[in-house]
Structures are given as C-alpha cells and as structure tokens.
Chain A
Amino acid sequence: MAREATTVTRTHPSGSDTPLSETTLSETTMSETNNLVDMSVDLSGMRLPNPLMTASGCAANGKELHRFFDIAELGAFVTKTVLADPRSGRGTPRMAETPSGMLNSIGLQGPGITAFVQNDLVWLKSVGARVLVSIAGNTVGEFADVAAVLRGSPAFDAVVGVEVNISCPNVANRGMVFACDPLSSAKVIALVRQKLPRDIPIFAKLSPDVTDIVEIAGACVKAGADGLTMINTLLGMVIDTDLLRPQVAGVTGGLSGPAIRPVAVRAIWQVRAAMIEGRIPAVPIIGVGGVRTGDDALQLVAAGASAIQVGTAIFNDPSAPVRVNRELAAALQDKGFDRFTDAVGIAHTRLSPQR
C-alpha cells in the first residue's frame, strides 16, 4: 500500500477516542469540525496540518490571497512556477471563459529564481507559510540550476517540498513538453532530486495529455520523485466567433476548472490502481483539477489523492482553499471518518463485482 497512509501526525488527539453523544454533535459548529476529523497528512516526510493547497499559477506568490485568508492556514502554499530568468509572459488576450472553466495562455510570467528567493520566498516565510515551490526549465539543466539556487537561498527553511512542473516545452526535444515523454521526465526528476536535500520531497506535476499517464508516473517515481501532482491543465483552444480567430494570443491554452474534474479523477484513479497492483512504486498523489467544493475534493481523495490543490475556483472565490478544507472535514465527519488519511483511495475497495 501507499506509504503515506501509515504515518500520521495527530494534531487534535482529544476528540477522536471519545464516543460522541447526540448533544456534542448538535453543538458542533463548522469551525469545530476540524477538531473531530484529523486532517493531518504526511506526504513522504512533508508533514502538513491539513491536505489543502493552492494550485500553482492560480494564487500568484501569496500576498494577494493573504488579503482574504491567512495563507499559513493552508496545508501548503504552492507558488507560481519559477524558471531561471525573469519572463514577461505572452501578449494578450491570455484568457477565455469556457463552460465551467477557463482557457489560459500566460507563458509562465515570473520574476526568475533569484528575485523569487530574495522577495517572494522571504515574504512567504515571514507570514509562516509552508511553501511548496513550483519550478520549471526549458532544458534539463535549467531545472537543476533553479533547484540549486533555491536550495542555497536564505529562506529555504520555509520550503516543505518542490513541485517539478514538467509540462514545459523541452528546447532540446523540438519543444515537446517534458511530461509527454517518460525519458525526458525521468531525466529532469533525477537531476532535480540530486540538487535538493533528501528531506525535501519532490513532486512531479503530470500532464493528462498523454497516451498512458501510468507510464509517465512510473518513470518519474523510478527516477526519484517522492510524489506526484495530478493533473496539469488540458491543452485546449477557443475561437472568437465575432472575429473568427483564436481568442487567446497564444492560440492554444490550458483548460482548467470544474469541467476537467472527471479527467483528474480518472488520472488519479489509474495511477493509484497501478500502485495498489504493484505495477509502479507507491508514492503520495497530490490531486488537482476542478475542485470547487469539499465534495469535489472528496472525489479526488477517494480516487487516491493524499492532498488537494484548489486552482481556478480561487478566481471565483479567493478563500476557496480554506473553505474546501472545512467542507471536506465536514463531509468526512458526516461519513464517520476519524482521519482524513483513512479516506485516501477508498473507492478502490468499493468496486462493482461485475465491471
């Protein structure tokens, strides 16, 4: 079985062993539900008080959302993907609204790793955030360089893990994204793993736009990934029917939002099933894709996700990540769970005898 399910840090031991009377339950408020369900989780050594995170690229680098909720309340804050150099990103329009979602083509706008560690990471540390840093590169070497600068930075102790965004075009492979090729993915993961201390887990962020996501997942884990983040956006396109031309300047873009949630559930399911069957080594999966409510999160969890990221829903409701955490805890309590981790992958044990 997956190794994350066994190590659990109990933050609220008081309520879990005492049988609850009707009175106790009726007096329970929304904010107290966290006291009844142990939401803590350990992702390959990354111990978090709850499984909720922001999704990379949907929360900037923290300051903006901190005006709506205390980002230190999150299990982890996931930063916008950072590369070696400052990037302007693409021209506009960069966005199109789609049914229950959106298409975006930003072009990885960002300050570059040096400015990131000097400004953003220092600020994130000052507010007490647990930081999962998303990194990328146009070459395998750039990924490694970004990881090395991060490791050597003064606020590195705020970093609880690194997410490797391999959905980035590989300049050396005719611009094919790393995540679409098992060998390129494995090279990036192996090199980033070398550059970071052992106690910092690395997570490979996978693209769903592949023939066999289990193959890519297996390649990443064998190369040293301590976990997987699934899924990145799907490649999509929108035509402006007034002008009869592509609606975003980048022509194609990443599709996100509740519209893609079933794709995320399917991808997590397939990879988790492969881990259960021993076809690939078991590591924790961070689920992301179309989560807007606690119930949405529970789908990804039951399929096998040990943590949940909220992305596009933030644009609709800036406090969505902490709201989803409360709703998820309440949903787990309703269903009689004492611990969040007991629900991870549970749907794999509840299959129809005839499939």
Chain B
Amino acid sequence: MSRPSRTLTPQVAGELIATRRVGAYQRLTFAAPGVAELAKPGQFVALAVDGDTSAHLLRRCFSIHKVSPSGTHGGTVDVVVAARGPGTRWLTGLSTHHEVNIIGPLGRAFPLPTEPVACVLVGGGYGSAPLFWLAAALRERGCHVEMVLGAATEDRLFGVVEARRAADGLTVTTDDGSMGVKGWVSDVLPDVIRRSNAGVVYGCGPMAMLRSVTDLASAEGVIAQVAVEESMACGIGVCMTCVMPVTGNDGMTRMVRSCVEGPVFRGDRIRWDAFRDGWCQVPEDAHGAAATRGH
C-alpha cells in the first residue's frame, strides 16, 4: 500500500548563543538549524525547560521574534521571554552554550496581503516580538507599515528602537505616560488607521487588547489579524488545552486549538463574548456544546 508522504516538524537541541536583558524582558538567541529556515512571522516555537528529567514537563511556547537562516551558527531563532513562573525563570537565567530542546516552527503565520496596502501593527508589551520581521515582510511587498506599541510602563515596552527602523511610522503609548502618549493603544489606533488609510491591522498581545484592536478595526471597516496568547501544554496539537471558540467560514463556532489552527486568527472570527474574568465559556451555539453540557 502506498502511504502519503510525511511532513516533519523539526525538533532540535538548540544551543543558546546569546542572551541579553531588554527592558523588563530577556531576549534569547538559539542556534536552531532547520527551524529558522522554515519559519514565517506569527509562528512560534515550543521549548522544553530544565532538561530531560525536569519536573516541569509542559513546553513553553514563544512567538518567534527573529530568524537568521544562515550565519556562523547555521540558522538562529530569537525569542523574547518574561520571567513569570519556574519555566520562564529557568530560561531567562540560562547562560550561553546551554542546550534547550526546541520544536518549531509551529502554528499558522500572519497572512500577508496580496496588494501593497497600508498596514498597522499593534503590539502590547512583549507581544510586539513577532511584529518586526512581519513589518519587513510587508515592506518587501510594498506595504506602508505603521506601528503602535503599548505597555503599562516604559520598561515593559519591547522594541521601540527597532520599530523606528522597521516601520514607516511609530506611535507609543504607556498607561503611566512614562513614554509616548499616556493611555492605551486603543486610544490612538482609530486615528492611525484613518491617517494611514490602512487595509489590514495586525495585533499581538493580551486578549483584552486584541479584542479592542478587533473592535476598533471593524469599526473602521478594516480586517484585524490577531495572534492570541493561550496557555498551551504541548504546542503541537495533541493536548487540547489551548482551545478557544472561533467561527469558521460556514458560520459554525468550534472550540479550535490555538496552536495548530492559530495562533493567528481573523479577529472578527473569535467569539470574544465567551471570554470573561480569565475564563472562556463554550458558547451555547458552538459545535458539540449540547453534548458536553451536564458533565
């Protein structure tokens, strides 16, 4: 019997070749041959933490900040990590030459427009990490790129200097006014969309921000493509923990895995009404919701 040909996902021991502090975050560069060559903006990598006998079994997933397909180390991949729990503290505390098991690239990349339209790229905190090489890919296609970066405070912004180079225009917001406009990205976004006559808005950051980015883009008649941050246990589509309700082309809402069907979704397809107080409920009209009730 002839069998269908297989596509393999690289899993490599990535040597940490550089690590440096950037504001409140740590930027790590891994030699990850095979991963960099395949990656596209919006995709992510899943890192194992603390070695083969770690008590922390679940992989930590990070969107890819940058790739260099060829160099002295072969392909390299950069990620930006915020030390929050034991896994991320272990990663940010690593010294160079340490090896970390890396799987990737994973997930669906940001779709790129076929025409050279103006685009607005919105990043919240270190959610901005994947936006810089997205900007490069868009400008390569002749798109005008505006960037909006927001965070609570100046040290929680990521990539302001890089953004000045990567984008044709930059707007910065902080909650406390320590840099740029005092307020949220949602305060400035409508004006940036109108001013640039944008055709697409890309967003990456906390769910609440992605929701308002989607609402504001929709109000201006513009499609938002957002990369979600759902907690994942595996990153490869087998654990079923990172699901969220998303409406398909057929109008049916399904609980889909953000690691394989996402992490990039059309913002207007996400059922934002299901998210509240850190919970996500299954909408009553979702596929298979009735059979799950009563359990």
Contact = CB atoms under 8 A, between A and B. Distances in A.
Contacts of B295: 90, 107-108, 169
Interface string A229-249: 000000000000001000001
Nearest to A66: B6
B240 A89 contact: yes
A109 B238 contact: no
Given A67-B9, A97-B57, A312-B57, A88 B288 contact: yes
B244 A92 contact: yes
Of B231, B244, B291, most buried by chain A (CB within 10 Å of CB) is: B291
How big is the A interface, by class? Answer: 35 or more
B114 interface: no
B22 interface: no
B238 A243 contact: no
Interface stretch (A194-202, A315-323, A337-345): A315-323
Contacts, number: 148
Interface stretch (A9-17, A98-106, A183-191, A264-272): A98-106
Contacts of A126: 1, 3-4
Interface in B264-295: 274, 278-282, 286-292, 294-295
Contacts of B55: 99-100
A64 interface: yes
A212 interface: no
A137 to B, nearest CB: 11
B56 A97 contact: yes
A95 B288 contact: no
Contact of A64 (B48, B238, B278, B294): B238
A243 B278 CA distance: 10
B192 interface: no
Interface of A: 57-60, 64-68, 70, 72, 80, 83, 85-95, 97, 99-102, 104, 106-110, 112, 126-128, 138, 169, 171, 243, 249, 257-258, 292, 312-319
- Top-10 shortest CB links A-B: A86-B288, A95-B241, A88-B288, A315-B234, A64-B237, A85-B291, A316-B57, A87-B288, A92-B280, A67-B9
